[in-house]
Every structure is written in C-alpha cells, then in structure tokens.
Amino acid sequence: MLANVLSFLFLSSLSPALLFAQVFPASAPKPTYIDRLLIIGNQALKEKDLIAEMRTRENTVYFSFFRPWVGLYQFGKIFPDSSSLRNFFQNTLGEAPAEYDSLVFQDDLARLSELYAANGYLSATFRPMLEYNSDSSLVTIRLMIDEGEPTVIRSIEYVGIEPLDKDERELFEREAFIHTGEVYAIRDMLRERARIVTFFQERGYAFMSPDSIRAEVRLSDNNRSAAIRFFIHLPQQLRFGEITAVIHNPVQPDTVSTLRRSIEDGIQVDVYSEQHIDPYLIRRSIAYRPDYLSSLSAKRETLQQLGLLGIFESATIRDDSVRNDRLYTTIDLQLLPRHQIKPELRIDNRNNAPNFSPAISYLNRNMFGGAESFTFAVSGGFQPNLGARTQVFSGEEIALDPIVYNFDIRLEYGVPYFFSPRNRLIALLQYSILQDAPRRQQSALLRFRSQIFPNAFQQITLDFLEVEFVDIQLPNVSDVVREDLFNRGVPRTFPRNISNRIDFFFSNLPEARRTLDARLNATFELSGALPYLFGAGFGEGEAQLLGLRYNQFIRLSALGSLGIPVSGNSQIAFKIFVGYLFPYAKSAGNPTPLERRFYAGGPNSLRGWGFNLLGPGNNPADSALAVSRLGSDIKLEFSLEQRISFFRTFGYPSGIVIFFDVGNIWARQGENALAAATFFEQIGFNTGLGFRFGTPIGPLRLDFAYRIYDPSLPLVDRWQIQKWQLGSFQFNFGIGEAF
C-alpha cells in the first residue's frame, strides 16, 4: 500500500495532466494545463519580473521536470472533499495544477506591454507560440519578445521653481533622478515626482504633495525620444509654531487631577500620569523648534529619538492648524508599563542533547523619571549528559559530569542621551558559572557601554571599558592532562581582560522597498592596552595590574549575510564569517584566552558537527571532542541556503531549506595552523535539509545535516558521501534562521 501511495505521489508530480480522468467525467470537457512557460528574447527586463506581472504561470518545478507540490495536491484527492486531510494537502502543502486560460493570457500580454512601456520600451512586441500534446491536455507556451529600441530623454524642464535661489536651484537639478540621454521610464518619473515632493517638504512647504506636480511628456513620431516638462505648484511656505507634547497613561483616562504641565522654549509638555517624567527628557528629543522652517525629516527624527528612550509604546505627530504662516503640531505619546517581569524558557541542542535555559528578568523602564532603565536578570541552563560518560584526552579518560550547567546573574543600568539623543550609556555587572568538562569556569564582568544609532539601518556599540575576571579550574584530571591543557591555552593563573571594543552592525531590514536582505556585523576588540599605556605594563615579567596578570590580545571578526529573492516563495541566502585572534606585547608568547576564542560546529555554524566539536584544522577524531572545546584563534566559515516557503503555520511562512556549510577553525602556528598548502585538506563540508515552521517569535528550525568531507579522519577516509546512511545525520534545532 505504501509503495502504491509513493508511486502515485511521484508520478503525479511529474505531470499536472495525470489522474484528471478521476476528477472530470468522460462527458465533461477537460481543461488544458500548462506544462512549461518559456520567455525568450528579454534582455532589458528580468524573467522573474515578467513572471511576477503575469497571472499565467507554470507550476513550481525543480530539475526541469519535478513538481512536488502538484504531487501533494494530487495526493489529497484520495481523501473525501470535506476532509481536513484533503484541505491540508491541497491548500496548505500542495499547489493546484496551473490551468491555461486564453483570456487571462491575453490580459497578461497587455500587462507586459504596459510594463515594457513603463520601462521605456514603447515599441516592444510579443509573439506567443503554443504547443499542445496529442490530446490537448497540456500546453507549452513559448513567449517570444522583441523589445525594440528604448525611448531616450531628449530634454527636461521644471516650471514653477522660481522661488528657489540660485544655490537651491542648482541643488534641486543636481539631485534629479532623471537626466537627458537616459532611457525614459515611468518608474523613474514616479521617483522624480517623489523626490520633488520631499525636496520642497524639507524647505517649509509642508503641504506639498504629488497632486501639486503635473508631468507632460512629448514623444517623437517614432517613439525614440521624449521631452519632459514638470509643472510644479508650490503651496504656502510655513514655519513651525508652538509644539505640544502630550504623554498619556494607557491604563488610565486623561484627567485634570493627573495633569502636570511645563512650558519652555516654545514647547508645552502635558503629562497625564502619576509617573514622574522629566519634561526636559521630551524637549531634548524633539528635533525642531518654533520658527524653524517646517520639515518632514525633523518630524521623523523626533519620532526616532523619542522611540530610542524606550518608555513609549507609540509616538505620533499630528498637524493641528495653520495660523499666520505657522504650523502648530501635537506629539501624542503612549507610555509603556513602567515595571515588567518577563519569564523565558529557551531550548537548544548544544553538546548534542536538549539544553534547557530558564530565565526571569525584572525591568524598570523609568527608574528616576529620566528614562533610565534598570534590569535585574537571573538565568540558568542545564543539560543531562546523554552521551558518553568519559572522553579521551592525552591518552587518559576524563570523567564527564552527569549534568552540564551554567548560571548567570546580571544587573544593568541604562541612561539615555549620552552626548546625543541617539546615544545610550549602559553599565553592566554580571556573574557567571559554566560547568562543561574538562573545565569549570567562573567569571565576573564589569562593562561601560555606549550604544550609538546613526540612523535606522546602523548601530555602533562602543565598550570604552570592560573588565572581566575569569577563573578556570580543571577538577578530576591528572597533572599530565592539566599540563597538556595548559599548553593548549587553558590559563594557569587567575586572569582578567581589560578591553576596549567597537562593534558595527548594519541591516537594511527597515527599508520597505528593499530587493535583498543584507546584514554586516564587524567587531574590533583591543584588550590590555589601557593598563599598559598607563604604566602597568612596563618593566620586566608578565603584564600585571595590582598583582594580577591581565591579557593583551586583539580580536577581529566580521559576519556578512545576504538574502536574494529568486521567486515569490524562494530565497537564496549566504553568509561569510572571518575571525582572527592574536596576542601582542607582553602576552605575545602566551596562549590566547579561552573565552575569546572561536569555535566551530553547531546550529549556527557547520551543522554537520555537534556544538563546538569541529577542528582545529585536521585535529584527529579521537581527541576532537576535548580539543575542539578549547577553540582556536582563526575561523573561516561560508554557508549557502535555498529557502523555499510553500505553506503557512500560525499565519507565518513555512517550508524547507537546502543548505551547505563549509569552514573550520585553525591555530596561528603548529600542526593545526592555517596554511595554503593544507587549506583544502582541513576544510569541513556538510550539506542537509531543514524544515521551517513559522511562529510569532520566528521560524522553528529543524535541520538534518550530513558530512561531505570530514578533516578529522585519515586522509583516505575524509570523503563521507559513499558512507551516508539515512540515520547518520546530525540534528540541530533552534528558533530563527541560522543566519
């Protein structure tokens, strides 16, 4: 029975015309289904843009013949019409066979003609060729496109910009989106109209709108050139008048008894809350003042700066009235709850077993009335050791603890407006314990950090002072193993890191009309420079401060990722990670600290290996478990994914991911050092299939990875493809995409 079902599913996926006899009686006319849709001759426009404009399209196809979603749709027919299983297979997982409709196709040709005209190809012509099979149940559509010559802009004229002075007029024309000699395209005309609106809105014309602009286009007889004229009607130029900021308590109505009013610098602040809020906090976040020329960007800047305070649920600016060439505005602010208690439970599979991390935190969003934030958080994690009870290291078995655990307690205090409304100062005190054989690590951290938000796309994090005390113990190991671990970088004494760090993060996700998803995260950390420069590092011996040794190292890392849509439900994504860590000055001959090293393997790294269980280099498999957990100083990683969404869970996109991961970690010197001669012999390589189930907090990720090339094995055994078995995968799970 199972073989018949699988055969049915596979065969029906090959051709959407199969099995229709079951659905349509012999007396009923059979519809014609689209086998292939081929577009030929297009150069100016991409095929995916043309397909997106059409309602006539072929089913999703892989390898030129395989249509799995049609197969799932057809499989659903074996269930009754009202069955929930039929609805699941056909409407959630499946894809109905694409039916050919001549009227819809003619409408598509008209749409394509308009699309080409909008992009400057007014003479484009379309010649479809339809090829039917023997019983006309399938059709292959070949759409031949002759794009012709584009229409070129001959001249551009702006009428109505006389109020601009010479410099503003030059700037206005220099910033234009369209220029003579370029292809005339309607999309560029729309961008130019939007640019004109924004230009004048920034110069006091608050009620400038697209309706204030009329464009006239005169085409030559052969449509080869176009003369463009913009007629611009400027509304009244305005300056800002008095500003009113109203702060509302979301759980109580606005009453006179709770009103506290403050007027200063032309800004009136009304607070309808018993909670103390410093009016100066609001005034310094408002980017405009009375008598300033009205400006849309000043309003946007104001909303962004008020949002960065972190105490408002929403902020809106409304224009109240215009009097005597003045625009009066009101800023409505809804407060967030001042106190918040947040429990959490996180689950992942580090160390190849379920790791449970409960946490609870308390947040005070407005501690002293100036949007100061205070956080107290306690978190922990525990993981039953379900694998081996011992591991071999330096020829000796080390007993593993039955429970791997960690504990963290954190106090954090944040102050807004650190030299600028877009900056925030954060002080952090944290204590942590980690028990993970063969080490037991305790650390205490004191950090002073500034967060800087240059715009909606960038964040700069500056740690201008971080002091970290680290104590690493090696219980239950012999002196021989302890000495070997010391040689591999486990410190002998109680170390501390006195660091400065700068982290740059860029993401284009806030951009509404982005064509790809791009992220960049680059970090530079310098440890041990401050005490060294102030005299604690001079003299003979190790670098010490108050009798305690400190580390001197430089850590560089960069992570870039890019997601490129290839169709309506598919995306190609890749990431590149580069990391390098090295000691300097008095620490030049010492190992680098474990807590700053790079690790490879796991749900967000090479998924064919367990958490932190790859490398360094071609480290042998019999000691990889112990040595890889010590990390290394160099890391290179590359990942490639194809993400395909074809159904929804909880209303969110869900589907599958096909992925490839390549990379490893290396030492700076020695047998596992990074070298060009052995680079390709030491690269780990895996592939796999993942499932994504959409949830409100991000996709639930289930990944099944298989190793292709394993550098920890002898050279003749490293290619693993011929050894693949169905159950030999490495399983990883988490929330959110891997990158």
* Phi and psi at residue 301, to the nearest 5°: -60, -40
Residue 68: predicted pLDDT:
81
Beta strand residue intervals within 273-416, DSSP E: 312-323, 326-335, 339-348, 355-364, 373-384, 390-393, 396-399, 403-416
In a domain, 213, yes or no: yes
In a domain, 525, yes or no: no
Token digits of residue 626: 């112990």
Same-domain status, 610 and 707:
yes
Same-domain status, 124 and 102:
yes
Give the separation between CA 471 and CA 486, rounded to whole angstroms. 13
Give the separation between CA 349 and CA 466, rounded to whole angstroms. 30
Same-domain status, 173 and 70:
no
Angle at CA of residue 37, ends 22 and 7, nearest 5° = 35
Give the separation between CA 410 and CA 426, rounded to whole angstroms. 13
Task: List, for the chain, all residue ranges whose pLDDT scores fall below the cut of 50.
Answer: 1-26, 624
Give the separation between CA 416 and CA 304, rounded to whole angstroms. 13
Is residue 79 within 8 Å of 85, Cβ to Cβ?
yes
Same-domain status, 349 and 467:
yes
Same-domain status, 607 and 735:
yes
Q: End of a domain among 232, 259, 275?
A: 232
Give the separation between CA 291 and CA 530, rounded to whole angstroms. 47
In a domain, 589, yes or no: no
Residue 400: predicted pLDDT:
64
Residue 14: predicted pLDDT:
46
Same-domain status, 43 and 57:
yes
In a domain, 617, yes or no: yes
In a domain, 162, yes or no: yes
Token digits of residue 722: 């011929």
Residue 391: predicted pLDDT:
65
* Long-range CB contacts for residues 420-427, cutoff 8 Å, separation at least 24: 420/452, 421/284, 421/285, 421/287, 421/305, 421/308, 422/304, 422/305, 422/308, 422/452, 422/453, 422/454, 423/450, 423/451, 423/452, 423/453, 424/308, 424/450, 424/451, 425/449, 425/450, 426/450, 426/451
Q: End of a domain among 428, 445, 475?
A: 475
In a domain, 222, yes or no: yes
Is residue 418 within 8 Å of 430, Cβ to Cβ?
no
Same-domain status, 371 and 420:
yes
Q: For residue 157, what are the β-bridge partners?
A: 229
CA separation (Å) from 569 to 98, 136, 235, 648, 695? 16, 30, 44, 12, 17
Range of the domain at 426: 339-475
Same-domain status, 90 and 103:
yes
Same-domain status, 420 and 432:
yes
* Count of structural domains within the chain: 5
* Phi and psi at residue 676, to the nearest 5°: -60, -35
Same-domain status, 26 and 96:
yes
pLDDT in tens, 693-719: 988 888 889 999 999 999 988 888 899
In a domain, 559, yes or no: no
pLDDT in tens, 587-616: 888 888 888 999 999 899 999 998 888 989
Give the separation between CA 240 and CA 297, rounded to whole angstroms. 13
- CATH number of the domain that 52 lies in? 3.10.20.310
Residue 623: predicted pLDDT:
55
**For 514, how many CA atoms within 13 A lie in the half-sphere containing its CB?**
15
Token digits of residue 638: 């590359």
- CATH number of the domain that 616 lies in? 2.40.160.50
Angle at CA of residue 256, ends 251 and 262, nearest 5° = 100
Same-domain status, 344 and 294:
no
In a domain, 576, yes or no: no
Per the document, the length of the chain is: 739
Same-domain status, 138 and 164:
no
Q: End of a domain among 88, 112, 146?
A: 146
Reported as type and span, the H/E element at residue 424 is strand 423-436
List % helix, strand, coil for the chain (3-state, nearest 5): 20, 45, 35
3-class secondary structure, 58: coil
Residue 6: predicted pLDDT:
40
Residue 8: predicted pLDDT:
41
Model pTM?
0.78
